[in-house]
Amino acid sequence: MALNIKIDLDDSYTRRSLYQDSLLTTFDTTLKNGDVVPIAVKISDVSHPLLPNVYNLGFGPLGPDNRIDDKIKLYHQNYSRLFSTIILSGISFLKNNPDKLLGIDGSNNARAYLYYRCILNNNDYLRQYLNIYGVNYYIRMLRKFKEGDLPFDVEDILATPNVVSKGTQIRPEKLYNYFIFNLV
């Protein structure tokens, strides 16, 4: 994945909302090999179990079971346009639901780092539209357990949102694994 992502909401793919409530949006993206792949942005209709009023935003290609495959590795021609479209879909949902927050899970440490770098590199631009928070919670403990990296820090269990702002520096082992957004 690319780390030099420039968010520009005016440069996004054409989106198709499949439901009026903006819970499922699709758009087509082009891969580096020229293939066109439909991408879905799906927002959960149930709030996060540890973070009240936070609804998970997932994205990726739809699998045969109509579920998003967020583990697949795709090589996009234009990562900036891809992420701009995903963020624009989230903002559209939040405009229709201003009392809610959206959350994005870095499903592994590499993706969490990608999201974190994207947020930091575009912080001034994103702050015009969104408040952005980072959270570490129990999933980090489970990842460490799977990797045999014990003991864990009790801070890795708590779900406490922290403002992510320009210049924020976090050690890799403390990197947020969940990001929360709401409208400014």
* Residue 8 maps to a domain: no
pLDDT of residue 149: 55
* Residue 171 maps to a domain: yes
Give which of 85, 75, 7 is closest to 40, Cα–Cα.
85
User: pTM for the whole thing?
Assistant: 0.84
The tally of CA atoms less than 13 A away on the side-chain side of residue 97 is 22
Q: How confident is the model at residue 18 (pLDDT cuts 50, 70, 90)?
A: confident
Q: Indicate the number of domains in the chain.
A: 1
Structure tokens belonging to residue 61: 């290609």
What value does the mean pLDDT take over residues 74-83? Answer: 96
Q: Is the pLDDT of residue 142 over 80?
A: no
Structure tokens belonging to residue 112: 């969490």
pLDDT of residue 147: 54
Q: Is the pLDDT of residue 6 over 60?
A: yes
Containing structural domain, residue 53: 16-183
What value does the mean pLDDT take over residues 40-58? Answer: 92
* Residue 65 maps to a domain: yes
Q: Is the pLDDT of residue 167 over 90?
A: no
* Residue 146 maps to a domain: yes
